Structure 1
Amino acid sequence: MDTWLVTADGIEPHPSSDIAALLARSEGFVWVDAPDFDDEVEHVLRDVLHAHPLVLKACRERNFVPTVHGYEDHTFVVVHTPLPGEGGHVHMLELDQLVGARYLVTVHGPRNPAVPASEATAQTDAVRERIAAGRLRPTTPGDLSYAIGSAMARRQSEVVRSVAARLPALEMQVMGSDFRQPEVLLEQLFLLRHELLISRTQAGQAHEIFGRLASLDRFSSTQSRRHAQDLSEQFDRVRSLADGESAFLFGVIELYQTRVTTKMTVAMERLAVIAAITLPVTAIASVYGMNVIVNQSTHWVQLVVVLAVMTSISLWLLRWARRQGWW
């Protein structure tokens, strides 16, 4: 767990034992960032910041749906960002924010062991670097929370743009495919759709959460509600981008599935023609063979007549299939 004092001059690191003293100071505000929820974080939230028990429970457990709760002295927000992983799996990175009048606590929720801590803290690390470099000067915890939320919206937008960058190459494969191994290309398309749908879902949920936060007149200031409304619009734009790419991707998948289905239908029609042509011939050959198997020698006249009948039937069936447009 890292603790900083954010002032007009920048950001100063402090040990967690100084949190109570830092809160008593008149300048700046305290930012506590916890890559994982442990006993030290629980102690700070419960005994120093007096967080609501439901906040402790939410920080301790994994939350699959974003949420917002307003309390008398702090507001609790849970938002997610996507992280594409191996084999088409998309990790859901959780960030819990406890926003008070003099402090901001960011807890990076329980994560998959396959996800490195640097990925989970990428947004908060980037914001801290901006503050240290002088490019960002938040004056309140709400300002800092807004900057982190904007960074999360940008990350979601980057995932959507990454899908959009990979989609044209797959579209070219769809247009020039020989349909010999359709399952490989279809799997790539559906995995891409899975990644896009997760990004779209998380952006839509974040839009609703910050929209709700903007309406909490009792628990937030005018500036905080303005920040929440802007974040709601940012996530809504990400959702709109994902909707546009989804429509394009679904169209590509539908086109490829239609072409594959058409190819299979044509193949089935040709197999049906072959079966229709060979079936009468097979039947005649079977019946004739069973009745002449006892002959001591070949009856050439009968053989020629039977072969002529077989050929005539086959030609007639080919002509009929041609008129039906089957080949």
Structure 2
Amino acid sequence: MDVRLITTAGIEQRTVEELPTLLARDDVLVWVDIPSCDAQAAQVLSEVFGLHPLALRDCVERNRVPKVHAYPNHVLVVLHAPEKGQRGHVHYIELNQIIGRNYLVTVHGPINPAVDPAAALRETNAVLERMHAGRLRPATPFELSYAIVSALARNQEAYVETATSDVWRLEQRVTGGDVGDPEQFLTELFQARHGLLAVRTMSALSGAIYGRMTTLLTNMPPEGQRLAADLAEQFDRVRSVADSEREYLQGVIEFYQTIVTVRAALVGQAQNEEVQRLTEASYAQNEEIKKISGWAAILFAPTLVAAVYGMNFEYMPELHWRGAYPAALVLMVMSSLGLYWTFKRRGWL
């Protein structure tokens, strides 16, 4: 837990034991930064700051959506910043703020073990660096909160910019016909879409919170209302940019889907043509087989007659008939003509 005293002269590091004395003063601004709300930090928030039990619970537990709650002596604001994880996953880095009369408490919510702890301190460290460099000297808790939340909004916008470069790269691969593995490419497309959608959700909910603060906190000074309205506009701009890039990416996805559909149709057409060609070849082959079979049957009839009369058995009365030979020839010709006529009618010849 870092206790910082902010005055017109600069910023000083103080101890937790000095907090009651510092909070009683009206001429200073106290900033308490809590990287992780453990049991000791929860005790300080409860006993020293008099934090409402519900607000204390929100600081200890993880909040999945941004929120704002106004209590008699303080206001709780819960926000999220994006952090890119493995395989396109987007981690929600939680930042809780407790805004009081002359103090600001920033509590960094529980984070996934896979996330670098430094990512949770990104916005507060950036503001602290500006203050040490003399580029920022907030006089009220609202001004300090504004600086921190503005840094968070810039990080959301930077995430959208990174996602935009991925979208452009994906579009170039589609238009260039170099998508590689289609399944992997589709995964990359939907990972980029997921990232834009996650940041869009964060910025939209954050903007709604600060838009609500301008009307919810009736005792907020005019300067605080102006800063809250400006933050609402910043988040609205991030949401608008994320929406635009998401629509652009959707166009890339639809274009790729069209290409895949057309290619599938062409492949199907080629397969149909091949099947048709094979069918025609099979039909032609069947026709030839029928012709061969027909002629074989026609030639088989006289062969059968000749085979019978070529047996030369002793008891064959036809051998002694004067017209046996012409009759055999006529039988051969008639059987062949009969088969030829039959096959011709059936279209075999």
Same-fold call, TM cutoff 0.5: yes
Residues 235-269 of structure 1 deviation map (CA, whole Å, 9 limit, x = unaligned) = 00111111111111111111111111111111011
Residues 206-226 of structure 1 deviation map (CA, whole Å, 9 limit, x = unaligned) = 110110111124342222111
- Aligned-residue offset at 1:283: 6.4
Taking the aligned partners of 2:113 and 2:57, their CA distance within structure 1 comes to: 21
Q: How many residues align?
A: 295
- Aligned-residue offset at 1:280: 4.8
Residue 243 of structure 1 pairs with residue 213 of structure 2? no
Taking the aligned partners of 1:289 and 1:83, their CA distance within structure 2 comes to: 73
Residue 124 of structure 1 pairs with residue 124 of structure 2? yes
Gaps spanning 5+ residues in structure 1: where?
A: 300-327
Partner of residue 208, structure 1: 208
Partner of residue 53, structure 2: 53
Taking the aligned partners of 2:287 and 2:61, their CA distance within structure 1 comes to: 76
* Partner SS, residue 91 of structure 2: strand
**Maintained 8 Å contact 1:81/1:94:** yes
Gaps spanning 5+ residues in structure 2: where?
A: 300-349
Partner of residue 268, structure 2: 268
Structure 1 residues 230 and 86: alpha-carbon distance in aligned structure 2, compared to 1, 3 A threshold:
same
Partner of residue 165, structure 2: 165
TM (normalized to structure 1)? 0.85
Asked which structure has the greater CA Rg, the reply is 2
Structure 1 residues 62 and 289: alpha-carbon distance in aligned structure 2, compared to 1, 3 A threshold:
farther
Structure 1 residues 81 and 263: alpha-carbon distance in aligned structure 2, compared to 1, 3 A threshold:
same
- Aligned-residue offset at 1:184: 2.3
**Maintained 8 Å contact 2:26/2:102:** no
Residues 63-110 of structure 1 deviation map (CA, whole Å, 9 limit, x = unaligned) = 111000111111110010101112111110010100000111100111
**Maintained 8 Å contact 1:214/1:229:** yes
Taking the aligned partners of 1:8 and 1:180, their CA distance within structure 2 comes to: 59
Q: Residue type matched to 1:2 in 2?
A: D
**Maintained 8 Å contact 1:208/1:232:** yes
The equivalences for 1:6-17 within 5 A come to 6-17=6-17
Q: What is the Cα-based RMSD across aligned positions, in Å?
A: 2.2
Structure 1 residues 131 and 179: alpha-carbon distance in aligned structure 2, compared to 1, 3 A threshold:
closer
Taking the aligned partners of 2:158 and 2:142, their CA distance within structure 1 comes to: 24
Q: Residue type matched to 2:188 in 1?
A: Q
* Partner SS, residue 216 of structure 2: coil
Partner of residue 106, structure 2: 106
* Partner SS, residue 272 of structure 1: helix
**Maintained 8 Å contact 1:75/1:219:** no
**Maintained 8 Å contact 1:71/1:219:** no
The structure, 1 or 2, with the larger RCO (C-alpha pairs under 8 Å, 6+ apart) is 1
Partner of residue 76, structure 1: 76
Taking the aligned partners of 1:220 and 1:97, their CA distance within structure 2 comes to: 16
**Maintained 8 Å contact 2:70/2:217:** no
The equivalences for 1:298-309 within 5 A come to none
Q: Residue type matched to 1:55 in 2?
A: A
Q: Residue type matched to 1:259 in 2?
A: I
TM (normalized to structure 2)? 0.80
Taking the aligned partners of 1:178 and 1:218, their CA distance within structure 2 comes to: 57
Q: Residue type matched to 1:182 in 2?
A: P
Partner of residue 187, structure 1: 187
Give percent identity, aligned residues only: 44
Q: Residue type matched to 2:224 in 1?
A: S
